[in-house]
Amino acid sequence: MGIAVNPVEEEAPILLHGPIAAAILSRDYGIDDADVLAVARYHTLARVRQLADRDLDAAILEYLNQHLLEASRRGWPLHPNTVAARNELLLGRAGRGQD
């Protein structure tokens, strides 16, 4: 399928289910819409429903914070994209004067 695998994904292959799903959608079902494939690839960045109605960035940040705590508790590695997304959200909120 030509999916590049980083060391974190090698250690925790479950992290590859999104990229593999996107590759299958493209290869086997002919889906070429970049947005659809991105949703499949990165779907684990889910919303926290109560916050999502008011502030989608806050909802995603809350989800990432919860995921970080759970991963830490279970000794799971964090995917670099998860860390990057959380950092981007934190920096964006700080730039807007939000907590």
pLDDT at 45: 46
Q: How far apart are CA 68 and CA 42, in angstroms?
A: 16
Task: Report pLDDT for 17.
Answer: 86
**Residue 89: predicted pLDDT:** 93
CA dihedral of residues 55, 58, 60, 64 (deg, nearest 10): -170
Please report the pLDDT score of residue 84 as a whole number.
Answer: 94
Compute the chain's Rg from CA coordinates.
15
Is pTM beyond 0.85? Reply is no
State the alpha helices, DSSP H only, in the chain.
7-11, 17-29, 34-41, 49-52, 56-74, 80-95
In the chain, domain spans: 12-43, 46-99
Q: Give the residue ranges of the chain where pLDDT is below 50.
A: 45-46
Structural contact between residues 27 and 1, judged by C-beta atoms closer than 8 angstroms: yes
pLDDT of residue 27: 95
